[in-house]
Amino acid sequence: MSRAKMQYVIFGEEDSEKEPVMYAAPVPDDDYDFLQHELIPTMRPMSDEEYMKGPAVILHTLARFSYILFKDDLFWCAEWAPGLIVVRLSPDATFAWTALRSPHPEFGGRKPAKKDIALFDEDAENHQYNLVFDAWDAQFDKQKRSWGSFVPADRATRRKYLAALEHVNSLGKIMERRYSKSFDKWADKSKKNLEKWAGEGIRAS
């Protein structure tokens, strides 16, 4: 039985004098399985207000992130304490999210917990890292796009990508009106909200 398409969507830089090109590439099987079977089941609904007062702040930081299109949903994967923050953006204007704990015991300079040390296998594949950096790196490296089988996105991929982002883009306009004059206060509060809501994060198997 064929599986539903799951693909990275990036904007690669081919020529500094031109607009970046939208590319897409299949998510490798092991990372596909991790997202579908380990990550998605941990997701819980997130309201518009929660998005605007939490994850939206990541867009204003140096955190690395990627977009993954799966069926009609776009998964925004960001490297953020406690390891990986993922927000599902859907064309029906709903959100869901999860916070996974990095398998690396000292992620972000934190003091390693005994349980993390016991579970850590330095030789195991780090799917959380792959879901962010396989796409992030390919944006800036033509050779890595080739290795990752990135090709110019087709019309259906572009349409689904834009449909999934339509609602979050509308919220961006609301946030600009609300917080443009109190950006630092909003950013600080949003980071604190994320820290509180994510907690220690979910330990994926």
Mean pLDDT value of segment 34-39: 97
So what's the pLDDT on residue 1?
64
In-domain check, residue 24: yes
In-domain check, residue 205: no
So what's the pLDDT on residue 147?
96
User: How does 100-117 read in b/e, with b if 16+ C-beta sit within 10 Å?
Assistant: bbbbbbebeebeeeeebe
Q: In which region does residue 139 sit, left (phi positive, over 0), alpha (psi from -120 to 50) or beta (all else)?
A: alpha
Q: How do residues 143-198 score in pLDDT, each as one tens digit?
A: 999 999 999 999 999 999 999 999 999 999 999 999 999 999 999 999 999 999 99
In-domain check, residue 203: no
In-domain check, residue 1: no
Q: How do residues 165-174 score in pLDDT, each as one tens digit?
A: 999 999 999 9
Q: Which domain holds residue 61?
A: 6-198
Question: Would you place residue 99 in the very low, low, confident or very high pLDDT band (cuts 50, 70, 90)?
Answer: very high
So what's the pLDDT on residue 174?
97
| pLDDT above 90 coverage of the chain, percent | 85
In-domain check, residue 147: yes
In-domain check, residue 38: yes
76 neighbors 89 (Cβ within 8 angstroms): yes
In-domain check, residue 191: yes
So what's the pLDDT on residue 75?
98
pLDDT at residue 54 is higher than 70: yes
So what's the pLDDT on residue 154?
97
Number of compact structural domains in the chain: 1
In-domain check, residue 100: yes
